Amino acid sequence: MHGSTAPPHARVGSKLARQWKFPATLSTPIEQHHTVHRPEVRERPGPQLRAITEIVAAADHLSRECAAAFGDAFCEDGELEGADMFERNGLGLAHRDQLCDRTKRALERSKIFLSLLDA
């Protein structure tokens, strides 16, 4: 993993992946989903591993988009623009927005169940 600019979840995931001896198909996306946009990182893995890493990065981006809708916004350094990741992997912004809307609706429906945890 490169530098200390990786968010905590990427650093912890990287350490666990190495400790548990995950194969590169799992460890690379965990370690590099916040840095895959950098040319020096982007060119290292082959096309398939790069695509998997970008899918993880896109999922991470999508989770932040959805969290922001619920007031849980957070920002992380080293991000590739979500539109670029989605388009490179065959998804447009409209599809990203649809995924986010579906996720928001599902979270809204589950709020009643989540509120039971606080009781």
pLDDT digits (tens, 9 = 90+) for 16-75: 888 999 988 888 888 888 888 888 887 787 888 888 888 888 888 777 777 766 665 544
Please tell me the pTM assigned to this model: 0.60
Distance of CA 22 to the CA centre of its chain: 18
The answer to whether 85 and 57 are in contact (CB under 8 A) is yes
Q: 3-state SS of the chain: helix, strand, coil percent to 5?
A: 70, 0, 30
pLDDT digit string (tens) for 80-98? 456 676 677 677 777 777 8
Within its chain, how far is the Cα of 77 from the centroid? 13
